[in-house]
Amino acid sequence: MSTEEKATIHEVIRSLIAANDRDKLEDYLESLNSSESIHAVFSLSADEQRALLSCVSAERAAELIEDMPGGHAADLIEDMPVSAAAPIVEEMSSDQRVDMLAEMDEEDAEAILDQLEEDDALEIRELSSYAPDVAGGLMMKEFATYPMNANVRQVLEDLTSREGHYEFLTVHYIYVVVRKLRLKGVIRIRDLVFGDQSVTVGEIAKPAITVRADATLSDLEDFFDEHDFAAVPVVDEHSNLLGIVRRRAVLEALTERSEADHLKVAGIIGGDELRSMPVTVRSRRRLAWLSINIGLNIMAASIIALYEDTLSAVIALAVFLPIVSDMSGCSGNQAVAVSMRELTLGAAVPRDVLRVFRKEIVVGVINGLALGVLLGMAAWIWKGNLMLSMVVGVALAFNTVLAVSIGGTVPLLLKRFNLDPAVASGPLLTTITDMCGFLLVLGLASLVLPQLT
């Protein structure tokens, strides 16, 4: 499809929505590949997206919802009439239903639950009782179980005759159970198809490797790194099968967590941001942190005002101020990234502050000396003034040590006081390194001002 044709896809969708032509709209969406439909949907405004979900079948709407960020999907469904929203939720897999309803206001979520079948509503309430980043919160309830005495032919006939019931069964396993849900083994569907169809599933089932419902996202990541499985069964303390966690669900959760951290570090507070959202919402989320940053930057700039005379006497210092602050900030942000990663993995906890400080300060001294020498040499080559090169070199070396030690410990300290390190670590580090960098350069320069002029 050409660039010109791609540019008109959302316009075609918009016109079909306006005409309320469901059949043509369904056919047109069917003709698009995944990337084209995603791009087209996000080229529509939020109101147009809601109109699209209302215009197509509930099944098609559920497919479109699957490609949207959870928070944005919840916003769309939340603002739709309950009579239109409930059928869409009904068509979603159990894990996706829970994720989306968890993003909604409790009152709106309850209104939708009241419209669902009783079994589905109970299932959602059960899954909602788990934290979203543990196996119980990531698992789905769509799985196939069979008793040990069922033979392979019976199982295959049942699977093929109940395609609609198993539409979410994309993991290619069946689970062999006794007493309804006590897990005894697992079989790949390919082994059923190509095996002896006269034997019972109990005879060919292999012992299942399982996880408990409280297994963390990091535990699940390690599990799938170690095992080449498409899914893992989740069991309780009595080995009763509670659900399954797909590898794909873990990867998506890890991606969402990474994206959320990146948004927080960038100062976008309040969840997903898409350009189809109202301008006021997007602006408010960005201003929430930008307005605080104004005060932090004024504090850093005030240091320059204190040494205005020194800066006027040695104008070359103005060239090195941003270099010292920026290079120190980069070094500190590396330490922040390592601490954030260790917090996520559980390799570091708030009480490890002193241990982290000791390890980071050694790295800071080595890197600070190396960077200080490099910057000092550059200053000497440029201006031929040994004292100037020593001032900027020493300032960068000390500021790098400070930045690295602070960058490694600030996330742990923020976590200790129940503050979000992903949001606050970067701006705090930047403010401190800017203030100290300016103070070191201008303070040292003031002490040796006669040798600089």
DSSP 8-state class, residue 350: G
382, 428: one domain: yes
299, 193: one domain: no
In the numeric block, which tokens belong to residue 219? 């535990």
In the numeric block, which tokens belong to residue 431? 């403010």
295, 442: one domain: yes
84, 201: one domain: no
Burial class (CB in 10 A: 0-12, 13-18, 19+), 315: exposed
Residue 353 lies in a domain: yes
* Among candidate residues 217, 187, 183, the one with its CA nearest the CA of residue 204: 187
In the numeric block, which tokens belong to residue 129? 């009782």
Dist CA 443 CA 439 (whole Å): 5
Dist CA 202 CA 220 (whole Å): 27
Residue 98 lies in a domain: yes
307, 432: one domain: yes
Dihedral sign (CA 78, 81, 83, 85): negative
Residue 303 structural domain: 279-452
Dist CA 103 CA 61 (whole Å): 18
Dist CA 151 CA 158 (whole Å): 11
303, 394: one domain: yes
Q: What DSSP string runs through 228-266?
A: --SEEEEE-TT-BEEEEEEHHHHHHHHHHHHHHHHHHHT
Q: What's phi and psi for 68, nearest 5 deg?
A: -100, 150
**What is the spatial order of strands in the sheet that 231-235 belongs to?**
211-212, 231-235, 241-246
The CATH number assigned to the domain holding 20 equals: 1.25.60.10
Residue 404 lies in a domain: yes
Residue 261 lies in a domain: no
In the numeric block, which tokens belong to residue 249? 């669900």
How many domains does the structure of the chain reveal? 3
Dist CA 171 CA 234 (whole Å): 14
Q: Of 98, 129, 160, which closes a domain?
A: 129
* pLDDT per residue rounded down to tens, the chain (453 residues): 444 444 478 888 888 888 888 888 888 888 888 778 877 887 888 888 899 999 999 989 988 888 777 777 888 898 899 999 999 998 888 888 888 888 888 888 999 999 988 888 898 898 988 988 899 999 998 888 999 999 999 988 888 877 655 555 555 789 999 987 899 999 998 888 888 888 999 999 999 999 999 999 989 999 999 998 989 999 999 999 999 999 988 988 887 776 666 555 555 555 555 555 566 766 666 666 667 677 777 877 788 888 888 888 888 898 999 999 999 989 998 998 888 878 876 778 888 899 999 999 999 999 999 999 999 999 999 989 999 999 999 999 999 999 999 999 998 998 888 777 766 777 778 888 889 999 999 999 999 998 887
Q: Which amino acid is at 85?
A: A
Kind plus residue range of the DSSP H or E element containing 103: none
Contact of 94 with 64, CB cutoff 8 Å: no
